[in-house]
Amino acid sequence: MASTPDLSALQRPSGAFAMLAIDQRESMRAMFADTQAGPVSDRQLVDFKLEALRHLTPHASAVLIDRPFGWQPALEAGAVAPGCGLIAAADEFHASADEIVADAGLDDLVVPEAVKAQGAQALKLLVVWRPDGNPEKRIALVDEFVARCRRAGLISLIEPVSRKPLDGRPHDLHDGILAAARELGNRGQDIYKAEVPLHAAGEEAEVRRRCAELTDAIASPWVVLSSGVAPDRFPTAVEWACREGARGFLAGRAVWKETIGAPDMAEALRTTAVDRLKRLCETVDRAVG
């Protein structure tokens, strides 16, 4: 069995993780659809991802890229800056009538050994957690993913996300963040990616208390994602989480979402998005380093 690579491939010199996510698929298409009248083409998604990679990866410690619209185009274009770690999304998403990502599984077209040969240092798996879901199935999925990563000598990164129950029972999505961590946070993964408790919309003391609970529940280093958090609030959310044990972030929306639909998206990425990412890097260096 191959040994697990050193996590420093994804870290800043401070030891903090300042990782960019550009692996959104149909959710990114929906973001574009909100800003234009006509249909959103696959080419638009690919072009935006390439532009974002060129401007942002010089400042990120690692970047997460999807197979359908990002991985191969990024490699062929040389769009990722030298020194920025490569994370391949190993998940495939399944939609429902009211959820863009209603479930997720392993994408068998992402072959760990093949993407490693192309330069990947890590793989990421999103896991949909529901209170009425099957915990044995979720655990088996994570265990299989971690095993695949270990066999290939790749860092394993899991991303459990809390979603509503399908049977209509009352449920607090934010309670699900901790429940997911308690169920899946000790499955041998190398990094755990968590939603920010209360989406950082609550009082500082309560958000930080919940972050501390995540630290207690998760056996590996953990980082926060930005979905659900207002972009201007995300640096504060990252700082609170890191003060309670998180090691950084793996985020996309808080960095680049506001550039979608801008009159000059390339310029918005070069200025607004880069500035946001630089601020986040400074935040994690201060809070973790």
The pLDDT tens digits of the residues spanning 16-55 come to 999 999 999 999 999 999 999 999 999 999 999 999 999 9
Confidence of residue 169 (pLDDT cuts 50, 70, 90): confident
Q: Which among 124, 193, 257, 278 is annotated as catalytic?
A: 193
> What is the extent of the structural domain holding 268?
7-288
Q: What is the pLDDT of residue 223?
A: 99
Q: What is the pLDDT of residue 125?
A: 99
Quick check: 2 pLDDT over 50? no
User: Does 1 map to a domain?
Assistant: no
Confidence of residue 4 (pLDDT cuts 50, 70, 90): very low
CATH number at residue 147: 3.20.20.70
User: Does 97 map to a domain?
Assistant: yes
Q: What is the pLDDT of residue 247?
A: 99
- Is 116 labeled as catalytic in the residue annotation? no
User: Does 2 map to a domain?
Assistant: no
Q: Count up the domains in the chain and report the number.
A: 1
Quick check: 268 pLDDT over 90? yes
User: Does 195 map to a domain?
Assistant: yes
Q: Is the pTM of this model over 0.85?
A: yes
User: Does 102 map to a domain?
Assistant: yes
Confidence of residue 93 (pLDDT cuts 50, 70, 90): very high
Average confidence score pLDDT of the chain? 96
User: Does 204 map to a domain?
Assistant: yes
Q: Is 206 exposed, middle or buried (0-12, 13-18, 19+ CB in 10 A)?
A: exposed
Residue 106 CB neighbours (<10 A): 15
If DSSP states are collapsed to H, E and C, what string results for 46-108?
HHHHHHHHHHHCCCCCEEEECCCCCHHHHHHHCCCCCCCEEEEECEEEECCCCCCCCEEEECC
User: Does 150 map to a domain?
Assistant: yes
Quick check: 160 pLDDT over 90? yes
Question: What proportion of the chain, given as a percentage, has pLDDT over 90?
Answer: 93
